[in-house]
Structure 1
């Protein structure tokens, strides 16, 4: 995946997800801690550098904090200096959805879990090669799965 793919998905539609998990806001609110609900269901953003996940580089996978879908592998994680966990690629293009976001007076591309629609963060074209992508994720939207479980 590269920036052209991301823009195309945001404009023309995303890939079909591997499965769907759908719940009402009340069901999500009952299942999730308040801070995770705010970030994932209300499109909030956690404070930069507020999570130890930024400096966590042990092997394993990162899953959606709402539905458990595996989203990123630690091999694609890098230190971006932004204060949020950053990745160059998802484990599968179909697990992340891309949406144009013109909030806050800027144009960005929001990323959501393609399985449950959880807000994850945004993707930018300023990451390292080979993809050139920086998936800038809220740590509250992710669960780290140990390498033994991946």
Structure 2
């Protein structure tokens, strides 16, 4: 059986591609629920809005960081934002064309490894801060909640 990509399924749901016929071995063809007729386009619209705003924010940040002597209340130049948008788009398309989603998944995992160390350091510092702010509370008291005793306001 051929694997069908999510994009192909989404395009087929929008009725831009012809529907495939049922299999010959007695299997029934998939009949979509009527909800799919408005949920699939709504999902595609939400994805488009999410990607547009994400790329806009990323290009604004990269343009601000690459501009010389820009103040915090100033906007970067439109040319700089367009340049970063085109550069980011070419990078993403290149990665997709070279290796597909497997390469993107590997890049996401590689980018997450340094963040894991940062999260561990943040947790350690949070526990130290809580221990300094509340020196009389022990971990056993925090982990066990006695529901039989009525709560008293302090």
- Classify the TM-score, shorter chain: under 0.3
| Higher Rg | 2
Higher relative contact order (CA 8 A, sep 6+): 1
More strand by share: 1
The two structures have a TM-score, normalised by structure 1, of 0.18
